[in-house]
Amino acid sequence: MDNDTNAQQARFAIHDAARNGQTRVVESLLNADSRLANRRDDDDRLPLHWATSYARMPIVEILAEQRGFDVDAQDGAGWTPLMIAVSLKDADALVDFLLAKSANVNTKTNNGQVALHFTASKSNLDAARKLIERKATARVKDKRGQLPLHRAAAVGHVAMIKLMLDNNSPVNATDMDGSTALHHAIAEGHGEAAVTLLKAGAEPHKRDSNGALAINLAPDAKVRSYIERAAEEEGIELYASAGVREQTAELSSSFLSDSEISQHFSPDKQASEAFSSPRRHPTTIQERSEPVTPDGSEVPAPASSELTEALKGHPADEYMDPANDYLDETTSRSNSRAHVPDVVVTDDDAENASEATPLLPRERLTIPRKQTYDAAPAVEEQSKPKPGTWNRIGHQYPSPLFHLRRAFLALRNWNLRTVGRKAVLEPVSMLPSVFLGLLLNLLDALSYGIILFPLGEPVFADMGPDGVSMFYVSCIISQLTYSTGSIFRGGVGSEMIEVVPFFHKMTYLIINRMGTEDPAALRATVITSYAMSSIITGLVFFVLGSAKLGTLVNFFPHSILTGCIGGVGIFLFLTGIEVSARLDGNFEFTLEVARTLFSAHTVPLWIPPLALAVLLLTVKHFYDRAWLVPAYYIGITAIFYIVTTAVPSITMTNLRDSGWVFEAPAAGVPFYNFYSHYKFNLVDWGAIWMTIPSQLALTFFGILHVPINVPNLAIVVQEDNVSINRELIMHGISNTLSGCVGSIQNYLVFVNSVLFIDNGGNNRLAGYMLAVATAGLWVAGPVVIGYVPVMVVGTLIYMLGIELAQEALVSTYGKLHRLEHFTIIVIALVMGIYDFVVGIGIGIGLACLVYVVQTSRKTVIRAEFTGTVAESTVRRHPRQRNYLHMAGKQIRVVKLGGYLFFGSIVKVEKKVRALVDAEAFAASPIRYLVLDFSHVTGIDFSAAEAFTRMNRILHSREVKLSMASVSLESEVGKSLQMVGLFIDSEEPPIPAPKVFEDLNGALEGCENELLMVLNEKQKHAAHKLEDSPPMPIAQDQPHLQPSPFEGMLGSPRRDFLYQAATSAITETREPAEHSKWQHFKQPLPLILQAFQDLTNKAEDFWFRAVPYFTKREFVKGQMLYNRGDKPDGFYLLQSGILRAEYYLDQGNYHESIVAGTTCGELPFFSETKRTSSVIAEQDCIAWLLKPEQWEDLQRKDNEVAKELLKVGLKLSAERMNAITNYVLITAS
């Protein structure tokens, strides 16, 4: 063990030296082996991380000089050195050094935080300013939905709050718990911070997920009154309606007119007085110290919080484990607190805090997030729909006409300055984002717009420019649509790469039918099928959105979508080979194609693009930046033309003839040339009909993208009011319009939209400008194509294909169930190599198979109990209870749940067979098996048939099957009836299972049959030989019907019942005692039996209570009392059965009360209202102790009264235990 420890210390010696500031040791180790600078410890941390966490500047400088230095290296939790540095106090030099090394200020941790989050929580204002100067964004939410602004508000740093707001941080953004920055500021007692937010436009009427206003979270009256006064001075109304609190207080006091509280509430009281009572402050959250050190020891925690220590200048403990990082609200050193009353903030739960701990206490975080457009409010809360078609289709959000009308009305207030800002400054500020969007559209057009038609086919070889033009038209239509109606103001629309393989599939289907003899007709049919597929997709989108069926798409297995993405990746990789190698026709796995690919002329065409794509992906893996891909392709193009221009013998004609550059469009070909192919008189509609399955498959594939892209985009751009249905309608309009103008499908593209918005394009005007710029590119498009190197397009296609295949096949490995991953691989291979439609069909089939297999592995047996644990609610005689407690083992209850089908029923049948297995049955024999169906949602034919088989198996062991919670009118009951389960079998004779409406009835039935053995034994024990006169025995005795208890002995199960009955009789009383009770007058025998095991008093003692009981008789159906009645007495039931019904908000419950037991003791002795309604199920005789008799007994014989009260409490405890036991078993 010591050797292992020494080896571990030696392995991470440089980490320990970096942490301890041992500069010479670090230099020595690096001189011996420079690779140690890049060695990661068990926490995936480099020496750089440890040197930074302790502000060891000399060591950081040494490590920066080493080969392979990565200033943005992330540890296992995603922390970079810059994040660590900005979390330290007095580390400005270190921050400057890292920024000088071009550290990325917007890198995210695994929990989604960027460096600004940590500067906000640590109140490092100077570091925050430096980050923002380097383009750090204040609009990034972490995985808890929190901005740096939330953290700044929680620590009350006013200057930090203003800095965040000045840099476009949304003041009213909510985290995943519905809390705004204002909620956090007020909850932590930061009054000045709260006022700052209010002045900046924070909405005081916003409620968190628990329905709380921010002002109601104030920890005490001082903070509340400070905020109220400041808000009043600024003219800010903190409450949704004036006087509501006074009204609420007045109404409350009307119910407390005699109480002390009523003196503090009156209409003329100030609002602050009404809420001046002490209030528990939310538990604060403490930031944790650094994780385990390289030597395996824990860093000693300081006495005070780490944040306080940091402010005192202890950087050693500032490097927090990101899994445990969070705010320390205990500090009061923020400069924002100068004018705020002192607030005491508790830190009770700090030791258990972690990164997952919310900023505010859990009590406020239990209700789901606020309602979005998809969540319908309660009927009482729904506002009246606004008039107009837009709202009549069920969408309660402003229509595009509303925005236009509001803009028109605003024009009246414009002046020259406003016109200059709106018409000049704002458009100019959006030019960088428009240029980036235009560049992305160009690259996309050159990557998959140009291969819209299979260029390997001679008839389509010159249609690359037409595909690019169609791509641009689709982009323009989608951009105009999404910029007008989508909730995402900066959303970017474009064709998706996934449609290309479907289009190629449709093309080859048409070629197989029409041939290539008539190119004009073939082109007309193919391009018409493309536009038609866009219209079909658009109509399906629009119908789903209008009918508010957007959530239906979530029922499609995402494994199918992932497999499709992998298939597209494989297809694109093969297409990249096809385009780069300039193959004739489609790529096929044949020997002839292989010879062509590896010929001396072809290898230089397709291998370099592949190598360039691999190089780009490798660089992206280590250094992923938004500008990297565009710059890379621009660089490739520039280098290509520099090299070709430097060689005089290379001309553009030679490059085009050799396949290095795309063929230039014919002279005079207009940018709208693709419209010339629309010749409806030449269209083969039969061929188009053959493509319908492919068109529907493309629609199905497209539908799956919307519920994935839209929510992800909403999270990134912090848009809370997203409606899937609204976006589906926008997609429907866009695709339908695109098809009608002769173009193709388009979607809201996630990556392009994020880049566009992050670079200043989060504006509808920017979207319109991008559409105009794309139109300009469309006009110039055909000329550009003739100068595009094939290598650039090939590299693009290769990169996209490899990325998609890696995302689907590699990234999912180990994260999914093996069967699901196998499904993805099969779908991807079939779609990429064979056929897309077949691949989707196989995917659906495999998804169903995986579902069946995985569901079958999850047992439908929710719980299993014996009759000793699961008892009915019948109040039984003590002797019967004792007997059932011993004999209840022969009752077995199996609770089922979920949907029973051919896969899941297998485990139920295995359980039944295991119960009656010879060895198990001999060890623990059972007589009754109760199957509870209360949680079963449905059953198929195979499962219903299995129950008939189980009944036969149980009958072979003489085990009776009962089915509880089955209604013959329900779907489950009808399914069981259809297989004849409830019909007695004649050959062989097998009785049908008994059916009970609930588990309680089934248990009661089984217990009653067991009690018949006890009665038989009791009769036999009470019978004396001298009581029977001698009888002659007839010689020819007729056949006698055997007793049902004949043969009670002879099997282990029956012997056990007989022994239990004997034990119950002998343990509960002596025979002499029973004979003595026979001579007593009622109700003394009844009292002695009912109070058995509950008191040690003898009959002489209880005889003193007899005069106080009155005999009462009740006929069948008579109501003894109702729920809510005042108790009229304590009942002892001599004969008959009573039924107690409990009608509660949580559900109904009943119990049977039999002779020899009591009724109504708890409300009677506690002097509370009746909790149940009791009715006589049979004619009954009871003995009643009335309230006046009870009072008389307490006065005259207090000793008996006290004992009776004790018995009543014990009886109540028994009832509560029985009820609790039954409720828990029913719910399990």
Give the confidence band of 897 by pLDDT, cuts at 50, 70, 90: confident
Q: Which amino acid is at 450?
A: I
Q: Does this model's pTM top 0.75? A: no
pLDDT in tens, 751-800: 677 768 766 788 888 999 999 999 998 888 666 767 778 888 788 778 87
Q: Read off the pLDDT of each residue in 991-1014 and give the average, rounded to a whole number.
A: 84
What is the pLDDT, as a whole number, of residue 398? 52
Q: Read off the pLDDT of each residue in 827-841 and give the average, rounded to a whole number.
A: 76
Closest CA to 228 of 197, 271, 268, 187: 271
Percent of residues, the chain, with pLDDT higher than 90:
20
Q: Which amino acid is at 937?
A: T
Q: With a cut of 70, say whether residue 935 has pLDDT above it.
A: yes
Closest CA to 1135 of 1176, 1194, 1187, 1188: 1176
Instruction: Copy the structure tokens of residue 438.
Output: 């235009």
Domains of the chain by start residue, with CATH: 1-137 (1.25.40.20), 142-287+325-367 (1.25.40.20), 426-786+794-843 (no CATH), 862-1023 (3.30.750.24), 1082-1227 (2.60.120.10)
pLDDT in tens, 190-211: 989 999 999 888 888 888 888 7
Q: Does residue 1023 or residue 106 have the better pLDDT? A: 106
Q: Taking a C-beta distance cutoff of 8 angstroms, is the pair 893, 1019 a contact?
A: no
What is the pLDDT, as a whole number, of residue 303? 35
Please state, as a whole number, how many other Cβ atoms lie within 10 Å of the Cβ of residue 282. Answer: 23
Judge if the upstream peptide bond of residue 988 is cis by omega within 30 degrees of 0: yes
Give the confidence band of 545 by pLDDT, cuts at 50, 70, 90: confident
Query: CA-CA-CA-CA torsion for 81, 82, 84, 90, nearest 10 degrees?
Result: 120
Q: Which amino acid is at 898?
A: G
Instruction: Copy the structure tokens of residue 377.
Output: 């409010």
Q: Taking a C-beta distance cutoff of 8 angstroms, is the pair 487, 675 a contact?
A: no
Q: Taking a C-beta distance cutoff of 8 angstroms, is the pair 1128, 1186 a contact?
A: yes
What distances in angstroms separate CA 564 from CA 310, 445, 796, 805, one per listed residue? Answer: 51, 22, 20, 10
Q: What is the rounded distance in angstroms from the CA atom of residue 500 to the CA atom of residue 701?
A: 12
Q: What is the rounded distance in angstroms from the CA atom of residue 188 to the CA atom of residue 184?
A: 6
Q: Which amino acid is at 1132?
A: L
Bridge partners of 747, per DSSP, are: 494
Backbone angles phi, psi at 1221, to 5 degrees: -60, -45
pLDDT in tens, 163-194: 999 998 999 999 988 899 999 999 998 989 99
pLDDT in tens, 74-117: 988 899 999 999 998 888 889 999 999 889 999 999 989 999 99
Secondary-structure breakdown of the chain: helix, strand, coil percentages, each rounded to the nearest 5: 55, 5, 35
Give the confidence band of 32 by pLDDT, cuts at 50, 70, 90: confident
Q: With a cut of 50, say whether residue 253 has pLDDT above it.
A: no
Give burial (CB, 10 Å; 0-12/13-18/19+) of 599: exposed
What is the pLDDT, as a whole number, of residue 1062? 57
987 in helix, strand or coil?
coil
Please state, as a whole number, how many other Cβ atoms lie within 10 Å of the Cβ of residue 1224. Answer: 12
Q: With a cut of 50, say whether residue 363 has pLDDT above it.
A: no
Q: Does residue 998 or residue 587 have the better pLDDT? A: 998
Q: With a cut of 70, say whether residue 1130 has pLDDT above it.
A: yes
pLDDT in tens, 718-747: 676 778 888 889 999 999 999 999 999 998
Q: What is the rounded distance in angstroms from the CA atom of residue 1089 to the CA atom of residue 1083?
A: 10
What is the pLDDT, as a whole number, of residue 1019? 61
Q: Which amino acid is at 534?
A: S
Q: Does residue 158 or residue 291 have the better pLDDT? A: 158
Residue 606 makes CB contacts below 8 A (sequence gap 6+) with: 576, 577, 580, 581, 597, 794
What is the pLDDT, as a whole number, of residue 389? 42
> How does the average pLDDT of the chain come out, rounded?
76
Q: What is the rounded distance in angstroms from the CA atom of residue 411 to the CA atom of residue 877?
A: 87
Q: With a cut of 70, say whether residue 271 has pLDDT above it.
A: no
Q: Does residue 360 or residue 657 have the better pLDDT? A: 657
1158 in helix, strand or coil?
strand
Bridge partners of 1173, per DSSP, are: 1141
Q: Read off the pLDDT of each residue in 154-158 and give the average, rounded to a whole number.
A: 92
Q: With a cut of 80, say whether residue 478 has pLDDT above it.
A: yes
Q: Read off the pLDDT of each residue in 1032-1044 and give the average, rounded to a whole number.
A: 43
What distances in angstroms separate CA 733 from CA 253, 440, 468, 478, 747, one per listed residue? Answer: 58, 23, 22, 9, 11
What is the pLDDT, as a whole number, of residue 520? 93
Bridge partners of 892, per DSSP, are: 866, 929
Instruction: Copy the structure tokens of residue 536.
Output: 């079909």
CB-hemisphere CA count at 13 Å for 167?
Answer: 24
What is the pLDDT, as a whole number, of residue 411? 56
User: Which of 74-78, 366-370, 580-584, 599-603 is least confident?
Assistant: 366-370
pLDDT in tens, 1184-1213: 999 999 999 999 999 999 999 998 888 888
Closest CA to 1129 of 1215, 1172, 1189: 1189
